[in-house]
Amino acid sequence: MAATLDTIMCLLFGVFLLLLGWWGRRHLVDLVPSSLPDDEQDHRAQVLWRGTWAAQVVGASFLVVALLVWTR
């Protein structure tokens, strides 16, 4: 029973993080305040882009763990 719950939780977290990263990349321009200077906007956009990339990598890792837990 615990393995099933672990698998479900890993799947949920993985899908959530993948979707969050995908959504963040699509709305990256909207998430950066336009009231900031151009240099600061570029910096914030780069930081958000790295965050979306990290969310997708961690989400994919959760999906791999879910697959490994499910197959054992």
Average pLDDT over residues 10-36: 94
- pTM of the predicted structure, to 2 decimals: 0.86
pLDDT in tens, 35-44: 999 999 999 9
Triad 19, 24, 30: Cα angle to 5°: 145
Q: Which residues of 39-52 are buried (b: 16+ CB within 10 A; e: fewer)?
A: eeeeeeeeebeebb
Q: How many CB atoms lie within 10 A of CB 70?
A: 14
Query: What does the pLDDT read at residue 21?
Result: 96
Residue numbers of the domain that contains 9 = 2-71
What is the domain count for the chain?
Answer: 1
